């Protein structure tokens, strides 16, 4: 009798797992179940609709550092399917990829539909049957097989193996049916989010971008560096998302009420900065400080910080004085803001949390408590910073889990 495998979840990990099952077990009947009316939704919106497929990092030891949770556990998996394999997989199927200067990898088409079409074409070619609007309500072991109850079917369906790739959930209740199988669930909390600054006037500079800023979350031991964007609600950009990822659990525990310190300059040696400003004073003694920038930061930010330092807009450089010079340097390198709340983007929502890594055999991604149950993707307590790393974890875990053993 032909073996049957169920894939629960129609995202990146689910589809890649389904394709892997067919690759390693070509005569197996594979059914993929998605609870909504659309598949590959995150792939569609990722990277502003361009799809940040993976990252150009090839060194495994460097790659795993992008995962605040699960990096060490992914190491063995990445040796078996990594960023180079992702490149080969898509390009061998006609999707040309490119690596941008920051390491992010996109299809040359700059259109996520190229990735979606490739995956769906492969699924059709390998005869993967896709079922939409099919939410799982219960899983139950029946002898050596698994019986699945769906929301729209009165009759349970039976499979020889089940691979769960349902993604993250903002609520712990979303994992109830998995917990009922005996799996420990790490409470899910947002992992990538922006910082709200409701009482800070810097939000008036919305749309302003700084190429390199250093961000420190005070009292949490978290420091990041990268581009920072000022929005109408607060701070965003890679430096902020990086901080939110590494601080996900601690920041959730603080109810997203904390202080941050921003260094708007790449240099932090205050004496060097002081000498630099002394040179500016010598070069432009009669120039207005507000109009003649002392550093390569956006003009609007410079004027904002001059005002914040209580330096008059019509003051000239030769009128600055030592006290004001020191105060300005202090503000440029240790600018403080109060964060009160967060903003997440539902379409690209990423969580930390999910099935505890301790509950899974990491070499196969099979459940330790439920033989024949496998996991892939964000349903596991694994998540990464931005840059294509979360998709890489989905491709890698999906591929490895898809090698499953079928009784």
pLDDT tens-digit readout, 346-366: 555 688 999 999 999 999 999
- Structural domains in the chain plus CATH codes: 4-190+349-401 (3.50.50.60), 193-343 (no CATH)
Decide if 197 contacts 203 (C-beta within 8 A): yes
3-state secondary structure of 7: strand
pTM as predicted: 0.89
Task: Kindly state the average pLDDT of the residues 247-261.
Answer: 96
Nearest to 132, CA basis, from 21, 40, 237, 269: 40
Phi and psi (nearest 5°) for 336? -100, 140
- Percent of the chain exceeding pLDDT 70 equals 98
| DSSP state letters, 289-335 | TTTS-SSSS-HHHHHHHHHHTT--TT-BGGG-HHHHHHHHHHHHHSE
Rounded distance between C-alpha atoms, residue 147 and residue 185, angstroms? 22
| DSSP state letters, 181-238 | TT--EEEEEE-S-EEE-TT-GGGGGTT-EEEEEEEEETTTTEEEEEEEEE-SSEEESH
Confidence category of residue 77, pLDDT binned at 50, 70, 90: very high
Q: Which residue has the tokens 């810097």?
A: 202
pLDDT tens-digit readout, 113-151: 999 999 999 999 999 999 999 999 899 999 999 999 998
Strand order, beta sheet including 136-142: 136-142, 145-150, 157-159
């Amino acid at each position: 009798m032909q073996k049957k495998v169920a894939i629960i979840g129609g995202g990146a990990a689910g589809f890649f797992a389904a394709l892997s099952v067919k690759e390693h077990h070509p005569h197996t009947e594979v059914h993929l179940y998605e609870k909504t009316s659309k598949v590959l939704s995150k792939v569609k919106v990722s990277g502003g609709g361009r799809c940040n497929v993976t990252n150009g990092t090839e060194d495994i030891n460097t790659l795993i550092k992008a995962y605040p949770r699960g990096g060490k556990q992914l190491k063995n998996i990445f040796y078996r399917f990594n960023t180079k394999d992702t490149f080969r997989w898509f390009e061998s199927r006609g999707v040309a990829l490119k690596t941008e200067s920051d390491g992010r990898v996109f299809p040359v088409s700059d259109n996520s539909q190229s990735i979606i079409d490739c995956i769906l074409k492969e699924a059709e070619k390998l005869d993967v049957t896709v079922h939409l609007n099919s939410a799982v309500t219960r899983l139950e072991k029946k002898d050596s097989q698994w019986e699945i109850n769906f929301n729209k079917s009165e009759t349970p369906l039976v499979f020889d193996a089940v691979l769960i790739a349902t993604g993250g959930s903002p609520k712990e209740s979303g994992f109830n049916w998995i917990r009922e199988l005996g799996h420990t669930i790490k409470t899910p909390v947002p992992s990538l989010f922006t910082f709200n600054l409701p009482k800070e006037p810097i939000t008036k500079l919305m749309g302003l971008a700084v190429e390199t800023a250093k961000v420190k979350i005070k009292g949490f031991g978290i420091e990041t560096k990268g581009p920072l964007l000022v929005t109408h609600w607060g701070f965003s950009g890679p430096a902020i998302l990086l901080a939110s990822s590494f601080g996900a659990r601690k920041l959730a525990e603080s109810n997203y009420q904390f202080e941050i310190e921003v260094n708007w300059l790449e240099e932090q040696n205050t004496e060097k900065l002081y000498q630099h400003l002394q040179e500016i004073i010598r070069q432009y003694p009669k120039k207005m400080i507000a109009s003649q920038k002392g550093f390569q930061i956006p003009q609007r930010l410079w004027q904002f910080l001059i005002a914040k330092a209580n330096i008059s807009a019509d003051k000239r450089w030769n009128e600055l004085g030592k006290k004001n010079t020191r105060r300005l340097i202090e503000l440029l390198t240790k600018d403080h803001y109060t964060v009160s709340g967060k903003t997440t983007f539902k379409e690209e929502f990423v969580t930390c949390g999910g099935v505890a890594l301790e509950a899974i055999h990491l070499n196969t991604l099979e459940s330790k408590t439920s033989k024949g149950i496998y996991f892939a993707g964000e349903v596991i307590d694994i998540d990464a910073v931005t840059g294509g790393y979360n998709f890489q974890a989905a491709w890698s875990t999906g591929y490895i889990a898809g090698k499953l053993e079928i009784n």
